[in-house]
Amino acid sequence: MRTTVLAVPVMLVGLVRNLPAQTPSKGVDPPKPAAVTMQVQTDLNRLMRGVLYPASNVVFSAQTDNPGDVKFVPGKDPSLATDPLESTFGGWQAVENAALALTESANLLLIPGRKCANGLPVPIDNPDWSRFVQELRDAGIKAYQLAQSKDQDKMVEAADILSAACAGCHRKWREKPRLADRCK
């Protein structure tokens, strides 16, 4: 019985070794992978509330609450923590992760088809929008680099850069007397 079980994998390996290498035929391009279509699942307001706002708060809180001082509570499961600093990936890793979330979120702000809370399209073709999105990306990268130093004093700089990036965009697109005027 044992030799039969071992013989099957050995035979399969032998068969695979004897197969000819698969090379594309001359003049024929290999098939291209199917294109992945990006799809918008929510409006800008919910994206901000669900991803950017919570992530930015982790960076901002690192100015006053040293992520290196976070102590896990005995008997409390960190995988169930609602505070990112106290979670399984807490402490400085939570700050780094939040900064990366902000950096990657810049890509989400450029997906065609997203709407503002008032139903207007996000102005992705406007040069100012692209500039503000790049400022967010740069702020996220800088926050990540500074968080890697695990120096709380450097998080003041990270928070200032992030705050400026957010404020510039909000002044242009969000801070309007009426919701209907946002994204114009």
Average pLDDT over residues 19-47: 78
CA distance 58 to 67: 10
| Average pLDDT, integer, range 52-80 | 92
Average pLDDT over residues 85-99: 95
Which pLDDT does position 18 carry in this prediction?
54
Other CB atoms within 10 A of residue 72 CB: 14
CA 138 to chain centre: 13
Q: In the chain, at which residue ranges do the beta strands (DSSP E only) sit?
A: none
Residue 104 is given by DSSP the state H
In the chain, where are the structural domains located?
A: 44-68+86-181
What is the rounded (10 degree) CA torsion for 13, 19, 23, 25? Answer: -160
Q: Across the chain, what does the average pLDDT equal?
A: 88
> 3-class DSSP state for residue 184?
coil
**d(C-alpha 101, C-alpha 98), whole Å:** 5
- Structurally, what CATH architecture does the domain formed by 44-68+86-181 represent? Up-down Bundle (1.20)
